[in-house]
Amino acid sequence: MVRISMHILSLVRGRELVKSLKHLYFFARSLCFSQERVNQKLRNQDKVQPFEMGNVEEEKGKEKSMPIDLSEFSIIKEGEAEILMHAKNEVFYNKTQVNNRDISIAVLRAYISKRQQEHEAMLSKRMKSTEKISEKNSSEPVEEEGKTESVAHDEKSNGECEMTDQEEPCNITEEPIKIADGKARGELKSPRVLEALSASGLRALRYVREIEGIGQVVALDNDKASVEACRRNIRFNGSVACSKVESHLADARVYMLTHPKEFDVVDLDPYGSPSVFLDSAVQSVVDGGMLMCTATDMAVLCGGNGEVCYSKYGSYPLRGKYCHEMALRILLASIESHANRYKRYTVPVLSVQMDFYVRVFVRVYTSASAMKNTPLKLSYVYQCTGCDSFHLQPIGRTVSKNTSVRYLPGFGPVVPQECTDCGKRFNMGGPIWSAPIHDQEWVASILADVKSMKDQYPAYDRIFAVLTTISEELPDIPLFLSLHNLCATLKCTSPSAVIFRSAVLNAGYRISGTHVNPPGLKSDAPMEVIWDIMRCWVKNHPVKAQPPDQPGSVILAKEPKLQANFARAVASLSKAQAKKVARFLPNPERHWGPKLRAGRQITSKHVSLLGPKALNESHTGESEEEMNSKRQKVNDHASASQ
């Protein structure tokens, strides 16, 4: 009915009568068809009469609508959203990113509820201070100018508070304060989201169709075919999508720069690196808002090309086993550096490495004084070239005297020229974000929410497993050790993870897993303690003699100072392990990975990216029938995974 009324409206706006009637007829007809029947039609190669799809917002008049032949499309359903996918792959769509979209939805839901709580807390604080002042005023008839000023400023600022040194940043876009029953009451507007690189619009559509309390979603793309597809998909998704999603043909960088502090959430999901979008993105987020950012250039971030990483992100990557976590921390450091240019700073809420990409969720605040803490949250990393020892070199430090704090450069170097464990030299990487990469309170509430809405996440099993592992990570320990690598250095058999964890715990240190690598271990035990534990292990599990200059031989030549206790410690299994909750899941199918830029031809140089099967398929020149059957499989898979 809504669709029909929209068409009557468009008719009133002066469209050609005959054309609109035709339009109306096909929409009415499409309403009668169930989704399955549309699919069936596509499978049977039935030519559906073309119908015209107009644009959805202010650019309505500018572009001429193109007639669409539905038989050229397959319908892809993910969550509540459905998109029309053209057979020619003109617009980017990668179903493996369902994990990425699911996690983003979970974080957005948490953000909306947190934002509401923060708003209520701010209102009640404001109310209390107003009450205090009015009490004071009633007992003291003469007003103290200075004291009332701050409240007056508060009310006048209407949510756009200026930061003072100790203040909590405010995060709200408020409607004017309404006076009801003599009380001041600020109402929170629904959050506005910018999906800066939207392609088909699938993400934006899922956001509006699945997230309660979400406001407007602005979907941008600088590719005409993508914007056309996005608009088509908006219409295809009905009235909620039409009223909430706006699609614009625009360069995201220009758009974000010209819309400073306008969006509660800015979502960047680029091909490869987000580096060129960061500067404008950090400026487009409101105070207390959230920036969500994906990077799929893992080869760059993980040290395949260190100097390229430096030029894009301002950090040198290292090729340790921890490189995927380092990738997350390089991205976080880079976002912070861009934010600092505008007196802003970030607070990570959740940082995930999954499949073939990293994705971070950070809140953005403005405060020139809080920004001074940034050097305390960044470190260089010294990685020994001989053994697996690594050490962090913080960039800054503080000295407190009475109530004042001085900010100073960090003491260094934290390592001598040669590794104290094996005698080899160090590579230096970074700077990385060395403060926590998740807010565990957020993680717990996201996890609880995901669990309670299991059916609403097509990738539930996967995202639940990842979030569970994240919830058990030691929050204050950057990077991790690989038990496998420690043993490879010493050329010894490996203790089980439980035995090794127990030895660390029995020595009085903490240890946890990491979501980026199933055997990876995070610990606050210094490297000398780790090596002592391994020396003790080798005493009971001797190794063959090695040349004396080998790092392993140098390490084993020293006597341990600590006597390791390998008795099984109670906490040697994580809670999830103890409860047999899956923490890591295999990929649902082969070549569960990145996808080429829309419209590109698959050639032999893409084999490493997409796998040989993709290449063979692109060369076999499949028949239309095969293509249709594949498209159907995609649909089946999408609906089966819900």
Q: Which residues bind ligand SAM (CB under 6 A)?
A: 92-93, 97, 101, 197-200, 202-203, 220-223, 226, 251-253, 269-271
Least Å distance, CB 220 to ligand SAM, is: 5
Least Å distance, CB 285 to ligand SAM, is: 17
Least Å distance, CB 357 to ligand SAM, is: 10
Least Å distance, CB 610 to ligand SAM, is: 15
Could you tell me the two tokens for 385? 């070239």
Strand 183-185, strand 193-195: pairing: unpaired
Residue 375, CA distances (Å) to 201, 397, 441 in order: 38, 7, 24
Least Å distance, CB 385 to Zn ion, is: 7
Which residues have a Cβ under 8 Å from the Cβ of 494 and sit 6 or more positions away?
483, 484, 487
CA dihedral 368, 372, 378, 382 (to 10 degrees): 150
How far apart are alpha carbons 642 and 640 in whole angstroms?
A: 5
Which residue pairs, CB below 8 angstroms and at least 24 apart, start in 629-635? Answer: 629/43, 631/42, 631/74, 631/85, 631/87, 632/39, 632/42, 632/43, 632/74, 634/74, 634/76, 634/85, 634/95, 635/39, 635/74, 635/75, 635/76, 635/77
Residue 382, CA distances (Å) to 59, 312, 368, 378, 530 in order: 54, 21, 30, 13, 17
- The secondary structure element, H or E, covering residue 461 is helix 460-471
Check if the beta carbon of residue 424 is closer than 8 Å to that of residue 384: yes
* Residue 384 contact partner, candidates Zn ion, ligand SAM, none, CB within 5 to 8 A by sort of partner: Zn ion
Residues of span 366-385 touching Zn ion by CB under 5 A: 384
* Residue 52 contact partner, candidates ligand SAM, Zn ion, none, CB within 5 to 8 A by sort of partner: none
Least Å distance, CB 320 to Zn ion, is: 12
**207-234 b/e (C-beta count within 10 Å ≥ 16 → b):** bbbbbeebbbbbbbbbbebbbbbbbbbb
Least Å distance, CB 420 to Zn ion, is: 8
* Residue 391 contact partner, candidates Zn ion, ligand SAM, none, CB within 5 to 8 A by sort of partner: none
Helix (H, G, I), strand (E, B) or coil at 412: coil
Which residues have a Cβ under 8 Å from the Cβ of 16 and sit 6 or more positions away?
none
Handedness of CA 345, 351, 353, 359 (dihedral sign): negative
Helix (H, G, I), strand (E, B) or coil at 177: coil
* Residue 436 contact partner, candidates Zn ion, ligand SAM, none, CB within 5 to 8 A by sort of partner: none
How far apart are alpha carbons 302 and 273 in whole angstroms?
A: 13
* Cβ-based nearer residue to ligand SAM, 77 or 114: 77
* Cβ-based nearer residue to Zn ion, 74 or 389: 389
Least Å distance, CB 271 to ligand SAM, is: 5
How far apart are alpha carbons 312 and 260 in whole angstroms?
A: 23
* Cβ-based nearer residue to ligand SAM, 97 or 171: 97
* Cβ-based nearer residue to Zn ion, 558 or 637: 558
* Residue 386 contact partner, candidates Zn ion, ligand SAM, none, CB within 5 to 8 A by sort of partner: Zn ion
* Cβ-based nearer residue to Zn ion, 419 or 470: 419
* Residue 253 contact partner, candidates Zn ion, ligand SAM, none, CB within 5 to 8 A by sort of partner: ligand SAM
Least Å distance, CB 496 to Zn ion, is: 25
Q: What angle do CA 58, 64, 205 make, to 5 degrees?
A: 50
* Cβ-based nearer residue to ligand SAM, 106 or 197: 197
**Residue 387 near Zn ion by CB under 5 A:** yes
Least Å distance, CB 200 to ligand SAM, is: 6
Where helices occur in 492-550 by DSSP H, the ranges are: 497-506, 527-540
* Cβ-based nearer residue to ligand SAM, 271 or 460: 271
* Residue 422 contact partner, candidates Zn ion, ligand SAM, none, CB within 5 to 8 A by sort of partner: Zn ion
Least Å distance, CB 97 to ligand SAM, is: 5
Residues of span 421-450 touching Zn ion by CB under 5 A: 421-422
* Residue 223 contact partner, candidates ligand SAM, Zn ion, none, CB within 5 to 8 A by sort of partner: ligand SAM
* Cβ-based nearer residue to Zn ion, 199 or 419: 419
DSSP 316: B
With CA atoms as reference, report the closest residue to 583 among 457, 502, 475, 462. Answer: 462
How far apart are alpha carbons 391 and 420 in whole angstroms?
A: 11
* Residue 389 contact partner, candidates ligand SAM, Zn ion, none, CB within 5 to 8 A by sort of partner: Zn ion
From residue 406 to residue 425, the character string flagging contacts with Zn ion as x (rule: CB under 5 A) and all else as - is -------------x-xx---
* Cβ-based nearer residue to ligand SAM, 183 or 597: 597
Answer for which of 389, 514, 574, 635 binds Zn ion (CB under 5 A) is 389
* Cβ-based nearer residue to ligand SAM, 122 or 295: 295
* Cβ-based nearer residue to ligand SAM, 508 or 599: 599
* Cβ-based nearer residue to ligand SAM, 392 or 598: 598
The stretch among 91-99, 269-277, 345-353, 389-397 that binds Zn ion (CB under 5 A) is 389-397
Residue with CB nearest ligand SAM?
Answer: 197
DSSP 597: P
Could you tell me the two tokens for 381? 């990393």
* Residue 364 contact partner, candidates Zn ion, ligand SAM, none, CB within 5 to 8 A by sort of partner: none
**Residue 386 near Zn ion by CB under 5 A:** yes
Residue 498 buriedness (CB in 10 A; 0-12 / 13-18 / 19+): middle
Least Å distance, CB 581 to ligand SAM, is: 28
- HSE of 562, CA atoms in CB hemisphere, 13 A: 21
Least Å distance, CB 584 to ligand SAM, is: 24
* Residue 472 contact partner, candidates ligand SAM, Zn ion, none, CB within 5 to 8 A by sort of partner: none
* Cβ-based nearer residue to ligand SAM, 270 or 611: 270
How far apart are alpha carbons 520 and 184 in whole angstroms?
A: 53
Least Å distance, CB 431 to Zn ion, is: 22
In Å, how far from its chain's centre is CA 484? Answer: 29
* Cβ-based nearer residue to ligand SAM, 100 or 173: 100
For binding to Zn ion (CB under 5 A), which residues are involved? Answer: 384, 386-387, 389, 419, 421-422
